[in-house]
């Protein structure tokens, strides 16, 4: 069966860095777009970063220049390098497969969580000030 297993979360001070990983199995990883979403308490789940099969990447405005998404198709693994972390980055971070994008008229953006096909269980990231 399909499994997405996140790791790498933890607690860090503002300005610090973390690297999240997502190990995928049970499907043909290289043929799926992949992404990271996050959900803070009391807020909706939002797309943070996405990477498509052609290598194209999309980022939420709030993380541009600080987060980098990458994928290793040989290892069936997705990564999210998070630098210059802020307290507002505190959330549960989820790995997703089969995400979609849309053209806003200005730029490409990640579609909402309802459009993703598979989900991981999440890993907690806490950033203290």
pLDDT digit string, tens, across residues 81-109:
999 999 999 999 999 999 999 998 888 88
Cα R_g (the chain), whole angstroms: 14
The one-character DSSP state at 55 is S
pLDDT classification of 71: cutoffs 50, 70, 90 = very high
Joined together, the tokens standing for residue 37 give 């979403």
Over residues 64-74, mean pLDDT: 97
Backbone phi and psi for residue 76, each to the nearest 5 degrees, phi listed first: 50, 45
With a pLDDT cut of 90, the percent of the chain lying above it is 91
Q: Mean pLDDT, to the nearest integer, of 23-36?
A: 95
Per-residue pLDDT for 18 more than 90? yes
pLDDT band of residue 117 (cuts 50, 70, 90) is very high
Distance CA 119, CA 105 (A): 28
Tokens (6 digits) for 72: 């290793």
Name the pLDDT band for 47 (thresholds 50, 70, 90): very high
Tell whether the model's pLDDT for residue 29 goes beyond 90. yes
Mean pLDDT of 33-47: 96
- List C-alpha distances in Å: 104 to 99, 107, 111: 16, 6, 10
Q: What is the pLDDT of residue 88?
A: 97
Residue 129: pLDDT over 90: yes
């Amino acid at each position: 069966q399909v499994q997405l297993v996140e790791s790498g979360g933890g607690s860090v001070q503002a300005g610090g860095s973390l690297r999240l990983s997502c190990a995928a199995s049970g499907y043909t990883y290289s043929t799926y777009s992949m992404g990271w979403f996050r959900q803070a308490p009391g807020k909706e789940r939002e797309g943070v970063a996405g990477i498509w099969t052609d290598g194209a990447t999309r980022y939420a405005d709030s993380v541009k220049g600080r987060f980098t998404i990458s994928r290793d198709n040989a290892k069936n693994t997705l990564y999210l390098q998070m630098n210059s972390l802020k307290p507002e980055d505190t959330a549960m971070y989820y790995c997703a497969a089969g995400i979609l994008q849309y053209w806003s008229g200005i730029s490409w953006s990640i579609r909402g969580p309802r459009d993703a096909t598979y989900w991981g269980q999440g890993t907690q990231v806490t950033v203290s000030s």
